[in-house]
């Protein structure tokens, strides 16, 4: 070794000065286009997930590939065409906007990547990009306010599938839920108050994506606490991971923030599939019950979604509006999702930087 080499100064940069954190934000997914083939491809990947339709593999394969995907894809494609914007799917458009805004507020010590659980950009592609950044930690933030095996749990499983063969694994932190985060609640409360200032509503509907009852029962580790009733009146250590209980807790927090009195709001569940019982009450059964009681105007929220999509814009915003008016209602208003709002980005920043909060 030459004396010239020995004379070179040592790099005194410390680990703290070069630490970088990866942030993987993940939403459910969207077809690549509203064409029938792309919608069919999306439905197959989504519904073949054993955490989404939790029946034996062969039964699931025949159900999805021979019945649901062939017959549902053309109908769903027409709905996606209504939803599609010039720059693409709203779910993906808002996702990239949030990614860019979040990267800006987090700064150079963080690397943010967007992924979709189904279709593109894939979790595998996003994690491959993060792997090249020599990261100290990766924080995975599924965009689901309430935990469910079929959503957050599926993201966890896919992330672990991708990284299980990595020789070097950085620390990985998963964000389980964020329904109680003050800025998440404030975001929806502020939106609700905006509409409340414009109109006097008779009733407030909080419609969440539904799940089969069997998935809730399977998640009850006590084996006896879940009764699909008053057990959801309070969120505690026994039902803290129950999706239904978390949805009712979300409603309670939003109602408190907006000052809505008891008796003027309903928590319900939408988007059920098949004949097996799903968690109740069903939104499409709640609506006629409300109009029979004389409700003429309703403000509707979809607090299981952080970005507008087919289930919010079309199902709640248009289909339920049509149903409400057909049953005698006069004014139905959907409250938009947080989308790429500043308070949503602030909420994410806080979740990432202050995990204890």
Q: How many Cβ atoms sit within 10 Å of the Cβ of residue 296?
A: 15
Tens digits of residue pLDDT in 10-19? 555 555 556 8
Tens digits of residue pLDDT in 289-314? 999 999 999 999 999 999 999 999 99
Q: Residue 212: pLDDT above 70? A: yes
**CA 300, 301, 305, 306 torsion-angle sign:** positive
Q: Identify the residue whose tokens are 């593999």.
A: 57
Q: What is the mean pLDDT of residues 303-331?
A: 97
CB 133 within 8 A of CB 111: yes
Listed in order, strand segments (DSSP E) in 53-155 are 110-118, 137-142
Listed in order, strand segments (DSSP E) in the chain are 21-29, 110-118, 137-142, 171-174, 203-209, 265-270, 297-301, 331-334
Average pLDDT, the chain: 94
Tens digits of residue pLDDT in 115-169? 999 999 999 999 999 999 999 999 999 999 999 999 999 999 999 999 999 999 9
List the structure tokens of 202.
């008779």
Q: What is the mean pLDDT of residues 165-174?
A: 95
Question: How is residue 268 annotated by DSSP?
Answer: E
Question: How is residue 239 annotated by DSSP?
Answer: T
Q: Phi then psi for 269, rounded to 5 degrees?
A: -135, 140
Q: What is the mean pLDDT of residues 180-207?
A: 98
Tell me the CA distances in angstroms from 165 to 132, 152, 168, 170, 171, one per residue in order: 15, 22, 9, 13, 15
Q: What is the mean pLDDT of residues 258-265?
A: 97
Write down the pLDDT at residue 9: 55
Residues 99-127 as b or e (16 or more Cβ within 10 Å = b): bebbeeebeeebbbbbbbbbbebbbeebb
Q: How many Cβ atoms sit within 10 Å of the Cβ of residue 75?
A: 11
Write down the pLDDT at residue 357: 64
Q: Residue 172: pLDDT above 70? A: yes
Q: Residue 209: pLDDT above 80? A: yes
Q: Identify the residue whose tokens are 């909060």.
A: 357
Tens digits of residue pLDDT in 188-199? 999 999 999 999
Q: What is the mean pLDDT of residues 314-336?
A: 98
| Confidence bin at 6 (pLDDT 50/70/90) | very low
Is residue 237 annotated as involved in ligand binding? no
Write down the pLDDT at residue 356: 72
Q: Identify the residue whose tokens are 């599609």.
A: 84
d(CA 323, CA 29): 27
Task: State pTM to two decimals.
Answer: 0.93
Helix (H, G, I), strand (E, B) or coil at 11: coil
Q: Residue 237: pLDDT above 60? A: yes
How many Cα atoms occupy the beta-carbon half-sphere of 126 within 13 Å?
A: 28
Residue closest to 150 by CA, chosen among 303, 269, 47: 47
Residues 300-309 as b or e (16 or more Cβ within 10 Å = b): bbbbbbbbbb
Percent of the chain with pLDDT over 90: 92
Is residue 209 annotated as involved in ligand binding? yes
Tell me the CA distances in angstroms from 179 to 196, 235, 253, 274, one per residue in order: 22, 12, 9, 28
């Amino acid at each position: 070794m030459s004396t010239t080499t020995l004379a070179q100064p040592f790099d005194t940069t410390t680990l703290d000065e070069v630490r970088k954190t990866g942030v993987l934000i993940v939403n459910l997914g969207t077809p690549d286009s509203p064409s029938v083939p792309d919608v069919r491809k999306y439905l197959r990947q989504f519904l073949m997930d054993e955490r989404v339709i939790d029946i034996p593999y062969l039964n699931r394969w025949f159900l999805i590939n021979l019945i649901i995907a062939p017959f549902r894809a053309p109908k769903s494609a027409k709905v996606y065409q209504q939803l599609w914007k010039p720059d693409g799917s709203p779910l993906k458009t808002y996702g990239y906007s949030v990614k860019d805004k979040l990267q800006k507020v987090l700064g150079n010590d963080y690397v943010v990547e967007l992924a979709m659980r189904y279709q593109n950009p894939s979790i595998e592609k996003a994690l491959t990009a993060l792997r090249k950044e020599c990261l100290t930690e990766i924080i995975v933030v599924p965009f689901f306010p309430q935990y469910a095996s079929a959503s957050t749990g599926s993201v966890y499983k896919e992330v672990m599938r991708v990284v299980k063969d990595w020789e070097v694994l950085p620390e990985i932190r998963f964000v389980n839920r964020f329904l109680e985060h003050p800025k998440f609640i404030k975001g929806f409360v502020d939106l609700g108050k905006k509409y409340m200032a414009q109109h006097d509503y008779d009733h407030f509907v909080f419609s969440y994506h539904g799940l089969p009852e069997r998935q809730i029962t399977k998640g009850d580790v006590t084996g006896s606490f879940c009764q699909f009733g008053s057990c959801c009146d309070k969120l505690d250590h026994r039902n803290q991971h129950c999706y239904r209980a978390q949805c009712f807790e979300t409603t309670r927090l939003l109602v408190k923030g907006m000052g809505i009195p008891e008796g003027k709001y309903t928590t319900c569940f939408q988007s059920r599939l098949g004949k097996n019982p799903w968690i109740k009450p069903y939104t499409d059964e709640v609506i006629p019950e409300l109009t029979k009681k004389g409700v003429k105007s309703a403000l509707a929220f979809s607090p299981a979604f952080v970005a507008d999509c087919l289930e919010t814009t079309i199902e709640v915003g248009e289909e339920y509006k049509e149903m409400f008016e057909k049953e005698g209602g006069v004014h139905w208003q959907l409250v938009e999702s947080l989308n790429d709002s500043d308070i949503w980005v602030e909420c994410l920043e806080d979740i990432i930087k202050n995990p204890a909060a």
